[in-house]
Amino acid sequence: MEGRRLVKQKLLRYGYTTGTCAAAASKAAATMLFEKELMTSVSITTPNGTDLVIDVLNPHFSEKTASCSIEKDSGDDPDITNGTIVSADVTLIPDSDEVHIEGGKGVGKVTKPGLDQNVGEYAINSVPRKMIRESLIGLAKENSYDGGFHVVISVPDGEKLAKKTFNPDLGIVGGISILGTTGIVEPMSSKALADSIKVEISVLSAEGNDSILIYLGNFGRKFATEELDLNPNPGIMCSNFVDVALDSSVEFGFKRILLIGHIGKLVKLGIGMFNTHSHNGDGRIETLLSCALEAGADLETLTEIQNCITTNAVLDILWDKDLLHETMKILKGRVEYNISKRIPSEIEIGFICFANTGEYSGVLFESENASNLKSFWKN
């Protein structure tokens, strides 16, 4: 794709996710079924509004079934799935109105709770599934087709690739996951991204801002705008580089800082880990385990938590045991303590930690000054 990001006089090229590949292949296959012509390219709009035209590989169709493939392009992001082939087989189901999506060869299956999909489901995440469904439903309407579809997504090299990912540790077996929240892969080389964050903060400072929102990823920004009704600016996305974002904000003279992050990332601040990338370590479950112990969890509960692989799975247990509130209160204190050791006392800094699934969805905990800080970004 043509999109690029300028970082220190270098143009870094954007790419697209495995989820976009799966949706594009599904759309191209379904189009062949309706138009009875081989497809050489397909257009698709990603969840963040980017319009793409992607080459179609290995197109084939019969009366009711069509298949094709898309080659994953990760741009300048160091991604092991770059160049991977993602295929879709689409079958028309005239006596149904459902879009049934499952995985084929090389797509992993979920074996442990707490992930985007339930245990036993294929690891095709919610956003890619939505992209596939919307593309096929749109085509059905255009072609006056009132039946359903059966879609099988496969990745020929997926099982081999999965061994180089964290999937086996997460309980995803048999292949890779089909992922993506925006549909686009942004170039994420560590140095380039850190430099980019510094530049963005320096620009905000030069514009006369003295308050800054720092989002720990796309979920943080979405939660701030949709759930907290905050104006996203002035703000930056720091990804895993909380350390760079905080230090740069101090260096460029910001007087107020508000961090907004999902529990999966923000929990690491509870052990003083300010670069939250998994390559630097984890500690999420251990941190929650320690907080739960302090909150009064019994041995059976602690053992259950010890066996979890995601923060959501831990939160489910804490919610069921009526320990969530007290555990989050303890975690809040630890986050507050570690931030206070890093940031000068004359700077007002606050934080909001949230979850976006489960009965406890919403704000899990926030600093005492969060309400006051939010007023600077209220729409």
Task: Express each pLDDT in 227-282 by its tens digit.
Answer: 999 998 899 989 889 999 999 999 999 999 999 999 999 999 999 999 887 767 78
pLDDT at 3 over 60: no
**DSSP 8-state code for residue 343:** S
CB-based burial label for 296 (10 Å; 0-12, 13-18, 19+): exposed
Give the chain's mean pLDDT: 90
d(CA 162, CA 110): 13
The model's confidence at residue 111, banded by pLDDT at 50, 70 and 90, is confident
Residue 10: is its pLDDT beyond 60?
no
Query: Comparing 79-93, 107-121, 301-315, 346-360, which segment has the lowest mean pLDDT?
Result: 107-121
Q: Which residue has the tokens 């082939």?
A: 85
Residue 165 per-residue DSSP state: S
Which residues lie below 8 Å from residue 270, measured CB to CB, with a gap of 6+? Answer: 287, 291, 331, 334, 335, 338
| pLDDT band at 4; cut points 50, 70, 90 | very low
Which amino acid is present at 256? R
pLDDT above 70 (res 189): no
Of residues 297 and 79, more confidence is placed in: 297
For the whole model, what pTM was predicted?
A: 0.64
